[in-house]
Amino acid sequence: MAISTGGGGADTPLSDINTTPLVDVMLVLLIIFLIAIPVVIQTVDLELPKVRFEPTTTKPENIALSVTGADGKCQVYWNTAPIASQDLLQRGADKLKAVVDRLGTNITPDDIPEVHIRGDVNTPYRCIGAVIYTMQTAGFVKVGFISEPPPGTASAQ
């Protein structure tokens, strides 16, 4: 602390703070951050999909699966009937084989049934991932998700 040697004869302490070192430190930190931030932040240019949904056309041969997972147990429903995960593969393969047998050599990719999965919001990913894997193993190429759009959103025309 500096002592004032004013003309009054009494030595009084100065209460002024020297802010020059503080400003110098702040400017150095600002320069360091301006140089370091572009190096740390690296991004990949992506064009993300727009948040719009397309209504699905439900065909009678499509498979509607619902997946829930409460208390760590996964439950799969074929339409509205519960089905064990072991039976899901066999039933899916039988359904696909029946469609292929019915259409024979005149089959096109549009004729192959799709799998539509409705997953509960609180369902663990492993439950839904297992259903996707099982249906792809059964031979289904088109596996999609059915979701509920946010209120007030319009569908793509």
pLDDT tens digits for range 63-111:
889 888 877 788 899 988 889 888 999 999 999 898 888 888 888 877 8
Q: Check: pTM over 0.75? Answer yes or no.
A: no
Q: Count up the domains in the chain and report the number.
A: 1
In a domain, 12, yes or no: no
Per-residue confidence band for 23, with pLDDT thresholds at 50, 70 and 90:
very high
pLDDT tens for residues 107-139? 887 788 889 888 888 888 898 899 999 999 998
Alpha-carbon gap, residue 132 to 117, rounded angstroms: 8
Q: Which domain holds residue 77?
A: 63-145
The CATH number linked to 118 is 3.30.420.270
According to DSSP, residue 74 is labeled E
According to DSSP, residue 13 is labeled E
